[in-house]
Amino acid sequence: MNVLFIVADDLRPALGCYGDSLVKSPNIDQLASRSIVFQNAYAQQAVCAPSRVSFLTGRRPDTTRLYDFHSYWRVHAGNYSTIPQYFKENGYTTMSVGKVFHPGISSNHSDDYPYSWSMPPFHPSAEKYENSKTCKGKDGELHANLVCPVDVAEVPLGTLPDIQSTEEARRLLNIMKIKNRKFFLAVGYHKPHIPLRYPQEFLKLYPLENITLAPDPRVPQELPAVAYNPWMDIRQREDVQALNVSFPYGPIPEDFQRQIRQSYFAAVSYLDTQVGLLLHALDDVGLSNNTIVMFTADHGWSLGEHGEWAKYSNFDVATRVPLMFYVPGKTYSFARPGERIFPYLDPFTHASDSVAAGKAKKMVELVSLFSTLAELAGLWVPPVCPEPSFHVALCTEGPSIVQHFNSTEEEEEEEDDTDYDNDYDIEDDHEEPIAFSQYPRPADTPQGDSDKPELKDIKIMGYSMRTVDYRYTVWVGFNPSNFSANLQDVHAGELYMVGSDPNEDHNIYNSSLHGTLVKKFLRFLRR
């Protein structure tokens, strides 16, 4: 089958199909209703370049050795194959539209072309204006703001990057149909990445009086300072600078918090329209019956939870992502002649009533995308990587999750119905699904580069494991010169029992016994 690989930027599961009653996302919800939807999918690092290189190579950040934006894994770590490279080597025409790899050094200034792609990747010409002064302020002047609804007719080139990406992707689908080629088409959308720049009409979907604050907008007392993300990229926007918020913990005024959340949701609905137009085009060219569609994001985004904004942490709001797979004939029946699988739904007129065709609650990781897509497409599934695997070009560190496609929520709940004693003891945990994430810090307290430290400045690594019952994080010393973590040098820890504390607000690391968790954690890291 063909593969349509759709990745959004900074999209947490703020979608109707994930139970969000405020966000209007009818097209993604419709896709979900024809897909298997993973409720608990996690990125391996909550920042763009490391996450994308990780899931596109099927290797964890400690194997790609990319924790920042400043190295190319083929030179810096190992000549690892990528998902599109593997499909290309198996006879597919592979194409990249928009932000798939992170641009710059981390993809060799070429989006890893020609290794990964059959033709040079497409980047929208409007991309270069994303951070320009195109946001009209109350003073009538143009600014480089965080909150940036625009009149599309008035912006440079009269269009926006994601609109251009959809147009190019639709053009390529037509070419693939005419030439009758099997294809792997990756489409990377910019939104809802900041600036929150989107067509201003989407604000109408979210009246400000309907926008609430995060349920936990204050920094938790038990949060270790090293774990806090001081959201520097937010502070650098002109409208946020004007607020004179104190560093690092000073809160953003509540009225502006609501404006950020309003614009984030508006940007999600704008993204939804682009996804809807793209899927509609798949129907138009008659390829919905033989094209796998995968939809995900590179990581989540904090919207004021824990007093934090943006990503740059190990919390669920930063690491959890939407993940769904539409597989013709497997997750949804084949379309009959003349039938549309993905009719376009206008978020301004359509009330979303879609529910996911199948929901899987298992903990899964984006590092599993490589083996999963290979299996779904009927290709040989690359083997599990040996330890270490720097010398192995083709292997993955994430197992295929196709096995979870057929399990029901009820079956999974029965499997996960386990009692734990006060030590959270798990005698035999080899079957327990765990999602691992990590984040680097330059110091024990928030610094100007805490969110995006360069490799040479990383002193501490926060390793985090998430199970159905808890999130356990340990911040340990890290040596950037040899990429080694000192597991004996523990700077801080976090333990959240998510059954009773779903927002991860109450850190009980210092007030509980958790020796078994330490053992499990060390077993993973020593691999």
Q: Are 100 and 188 in contact (CB under 8 A)?
A: yes
Contact call for residues 347 and 338 (beta carbons, < 8 A): no
For residue 435, the tally of other CB atoms under 10 A from its CB is 25
Q: Is 143 a catalytic residue?
A: no
Pair 32, 50: CB distance under 8 Å: no
What is the DSSP annotation of 253-314?
PHHHHHHHHHHHHHHHHHHHHHHHHHHHHHHHTT-TTSEEEEEEES---EESGGG-EES-SS
- Strand order across the beta sheet in which 36-42 lies: 93-98, 183-188, 2-8, 291-297, 320-326, 36-42, 358-365
User: Can you point out the beta strands (E) in 19-155?
Assistant: 36-42, 93-98, 135-136, 142-143, 147-150
Question: What element of type H or E holds 496?
Answer: strand 484-497
- The answer for residues whose C-beta is within 8 angstroms of residue 363's C-beta and 6 or more apart is 40, 42, 433, 434, 435, 466, 467, 468
Cα–Cα distance, 133 to 148 (Å, whole number): 10
Choose among 404, 369, 400, 402: nearest CA to 383: 400
102 catalytic? Reply is yes
Helix and strand counts by DSSP (H, E) for the chain? 13, 17
**Contact indicator for 353, 32 with CB cutoff of 8 Å:** no
Closest CA to 471 of 314, 301, 300: 314
Per annotation, catalytic residue among 48, 148, 385, 395: 48
| Residue 114, C-beta contacts closer than 8 angstroms, at least 6 positions apart | none
CA angle centred on 106, ends 438 and 98, rounded to 5°: 100
CB distance 397 to 323 below 8 Å: no
Do 56 and 82 contact (CB within 8 A), yes or no?
yes
> What gap in Å lies between CA 157 and CA 136, rounded to an integer?
16
CA 65 to chain centre: 19
Dihedral through CA 299, CA 302, CA 305, CA 307, nearest 10? 130
- Active-site residue, selected from the candidate residues 102, 280, 491, 514: 102
Backbone angles phi, psi at 104, to 5 degrees: 110, -160
Bond preceding residue 248 cis, omega within 30 of 0: yes
- Pairing between strand 2-8 and 147-150? unpaired
DSSP H or E segment with residue 89: helix 83-89
The residues annotated with a catalytic role in the active site are: 48, 102
